[in-house]
Chain A
């Protein structure tokens, strides 16, 4: 069908454009936007791609996903979203195939140990699979919308009055978190500016517009003022499987200083930033925007309150 071929090539173009944009870097896109774009692209693949069986679909998504992640390995949200979609496909297939979710998990673990591989071959075609998967992806998109708000809702539990809070760089999640708390409580914020791009300046200006008393200082003064700080609240780019963070350059210093003064460190991150990759990541390429600092996992667990992750309330795989 010429229509399908057209759609196919159009889709391919869109994927290529997305990958090119990722590769270029430049402006620092919101992780949420990247995640949303990835999901939309994957939804289009599911909807318009040429596949008839679940297995083919998964292979298709895997290939496209690899192409997108190869464009910019530091954007881990792309890979995370691809993995979640694959999981969704597996679940939907399993449900259609007649198996319940729980036993599926149990069986697959058992099977992994005994047989060394999934016995599912995903060969049976189900016509409703396409619609189901698309619906599940739509749910994920809706869930994405609400992450920041869900995190901000918990702000009042963690910030009390007359506190001095320190943060670094510009994280929109943390900005929403602090703004929400500022509606009811009075506190001060110290922002480390994070040279050379000085994203901290923008964060400080935005916070001060909400009448939060903000102070901007250079990164060199982090240890010097840490003794007067009550809490450190940061955002992050990725959370690795061992609990380490990949965050903006300077976060490691901030964390060490907080540990030295026994100041609690809180990380605000939505679920789609969780990555199943481990520490082997840190030796690969990095971009100028987010130089990697990966916390040692032992460091993270020895903080007085270990990095508390604020999760949206909806379940996810």
Chain B
């Protein structure tokens, strides 16, 4: 029996009042609010809660009834109740899901229901026990296991997670196979062990796995594919977030995918719909990542002059590709200085790739940059994300290189695809970052020898015989040292920091990202052209209008 609109509203009101009596001021967080905007008849809801204080976070217009005095939170509670009612009656409604929020950022009920409180993502609230409890409950509902933090954290970063990689994830938590697809489990393990590393590589792997998920998905009876698939994706995304916090590129890709799924027309059959989704994902991959890399490589080629000395840092797939392409097109003779830093030592991967192409390279550690910079003509850096205020979020150490380059008047160029542009704003590296996951026990300097692997990947052998296999994804790196334990190193046969866990006063800090202020960067090379850092919000606006 179909309830009319008014009856539904009435039902909602009653339920809301009941709840209010029961729980007092505690908002109902019992429902996974990730389903995006609950449907309202004829009322498309504006963007739900992107985790940034943008204008769209002000929520939907609630003009359907005069709600003088009712806050946003109460309206949300009402809508949730209404959703419950609908589902209880097994109504397949046509959902006009608006732009879905990025996942893996569960909504917290605002602590003061009366005011417009911005909801913070869980992974920057690790020091708040109530937020953690709510998150744990949410994970329980989704049947995703919770991962424990490891080791004492530095005070300044007590709001972030810190995981250990020593024990593989599957030993630490039991993963229900009915809820989470095995391909996703494998992906999560690869992320947490650091086998897949790098913004582009992680995003590509994620989309490929989602394609497989969609292939294996079958709509249960009485459900709509557009809504149910999104709901099925949620536990997977939470799980992946537990394995390793999602990157900005992954977040944007997931947003795009959810929007695509929810915008599927109802008239398609299931296999047609799945086919269409796979095509969309392929198109996204091709346009946003592969072709963008091609475009950026071409633009950057104009900036490389003859007899240039170019400085690069760490391992960025884009920068490597740019340099290899530039070298392949004869006519520009340049040499490269590769800067590397502990404990990840990603520069070795860059070094290997460039030298294989025949480019003349020099390798230094990051504390020697003020020694080499006088002879460098430009600096080429990669980025993990570009924030809305123009800051560049990239591997830790990038900001240092930009700073010292500025002091020596060397131009700094950042290469970044537009799909990594993100609406967040961050002024320092503390607010949101990543602290180590788990460790690869100390590999002394220079002791790995690559050997070809039959499956088309690369096998690396650590000194104690440990073998890591890397799929030849665009940017796979041998070490993905995130764990604080990675800082431990053998020098003269002695690991000074070996007993750090027992020492109450000693902490190890292993940051993954840092934020470069926009005034230290001279140019950003994107697939849309070469723009200054401050034009990032313009690009974001244009992109949103397009979509």
Q: Judging by beta carbons under 8 Å apart, are B505 and A208 in contact? A: yes
Q: A218-B343, A219-B366, A223-B400 are in contact. Are A228 and B505 (CB under 8 A)?
A: no
Bitwise, A244-278 to B at CB < 8 A (1) or not (0) is: 00000110110011001000000000000000000
> Whose C-beta in chain B lies nearest to the C-beta of A292?
B371
Task: Report the nearest B residue to A203, measured CB to CB.
Answer: B496
Q: A-B contact count, CB below 8 Å?
A: 138
CA distance A252 to B511 in the complex (A): 21
Count residues of chain B with CB under 8 A from any CB of chain A: 42
Interface centre among B367, B487, B503, B504 (most CB of A within 10 A): B367
* B1 smallest CB distance to A (angstroms): 60
Q: Indicate if the CB atoms of B429 and A224 lie closer than 8 Å.
A: yes
Q: Which of B368, B396, B500 contacts A291 (CB 8 A)?
A: B368
Find chain A residues with CB under 8 A from B368 CB.
249-250, 291
Partner of A220, one of B396, B497, B506: B396
A252 pairs with B365, CB closer than 8 A: no
Partner of B509, one of A201, A205, A221: A221
A-contact bits for B443-469, CB 8 A (1 contact / 0 none): 001000000000000000000000000
Given the complex, which residues of A lie within 8 Å of B342, measured CB to CB? 193, 195-196, 198, 218-220
Q: Quick check: B505 and A212 within 8 Å, CB to CB?
A: yes
Nearest-CB distance from B363 to chain A (Å)? Answer: 11
Q: Tell me if B507 and A213 are in contact (CB < 8 A).
A: yes
Contact with B along A190-205 (1 / 0, CB 8 A): 1001111110011011
Residues of B near A214 (CB, < 8 A) are 505-507
Kindly list chain B residues whose C-beta atoms are within 8 Å of the C-beta of A223: 399-400, 403, 514
Q: B487 to A216, Cβ gap below 8 A?
A: yes
User: Is A227 at the interface (CB under 8 A from chain B)?
Assistant: yes
Q: In whole angstroms, what is the CA distance A227 to B427 when docked?
A: 10
Give the contacts of B385-439 with A (CB-CB under 8 A): 395-397, 399-400, 403-404, 407, 428-430
B506: which of A194, A196, A204, A217 is its contact (CB, 8 Å)? A204
In the bound complex, what is the Cα–Cα distance between A208 and B514 (angstroms)?
A: 27
The A interface, classified by DSSP as helix, strand, loop or mixed, is mixed
When the two chains form their complex, are residues B367 and A250 in contact, meaning their CB atoms are under 8 A apart?
yes
Q: Quick one: which of B399, B403, B430, B491 contacts A228, CB cutoff 8 A?
A: B430
Q: Which of A213-241 contact B (CB under 8 A)?
A: 213-225, 227-228
Give the complex CA separation of A228 and B429 in angstroms.
10
Q: How far is the CA of A215 from the CA of B341 in the complex (A)?
A: 18
Once bound together, how far apart are the Cα atoms of A249 and B487, in whole Å?
A: 19
Q: Which of B367, B369, B504 contacts A195 (CB 8 A)?
A: B367
A94 to chain B, nearest CB (A): 44
Contact with A along B361-387 (1 / 0, CB 8 A): 000011111110000000000000000
At the interface, yes or no: A211 with Cβ under 8 Å from chain B? yes
Is B253 part of the contact surface with A, judged by Cβ < 8 Å?
no
Complex CA gap A198/B508 in Å reads: 13
Residues of B within 8 A of A216 (CB): 487, 497, 500, 506-509
In the complex, what residue of chain B is closest to A206 when comparing beta carbons? B496
Inter-subunit contact B403/A194 (CB<8 Å): no
For B487, the closest partner residue in chain A by CB is A216
Task: Digitize B7-41: 1 where CB-to-A-CB distance is under 8 Å, 0 elsewhere.
Answer: 00000000000000000000000000000000000
Query: Which listed residue, B396, B400, B507, touches A215 by the CB 8 Å rule?
Result: B507
Q: Do B365 and A219 touch (CB < 8 A)?
A: yes
Q: Which of A171-204 contact B (CB under 8 A)?
A: 188, 190, 193-198, 201-202, 204
Cβ of B489 under 8 Å from chain A: yes
Give the 8 A-B CB pairs with smallest separation, nearest first: A220-B397, A250-B367, A220-B341, A224-B514, A201-B496, A252-B370, A208-B505, A224-B429
Could you list 24 A-B pairs, sorted by A, with CB under 8 Å? A198-B491, A201-B487, A204-B496, A205-B503, A207-B505, A216-B508, A217-B510, A218-B343, A218-B396, A219-B365, A219-B367, A219-B397, A220-B396, A223-B399, A223-B403, A224-B429, A224-B515, A228-B156, A228-B430, A250-B366, A253-B369, A291-B367, A291-B368, A292-B371
| Other contacts beyond A190-B509, A195-B341, A227-B429: 19, CB < 8 A | A195-B366, A201-B487, A216-B507, A217-B508, A220-B397, A221-B509, A221-B514, A223-B403, A224-B428, A224-B511, A224-B515, A225-B156, A225-B429, A227-B428, A228-B156, A252-B404, A253-B366, A257-B400, A260-B403
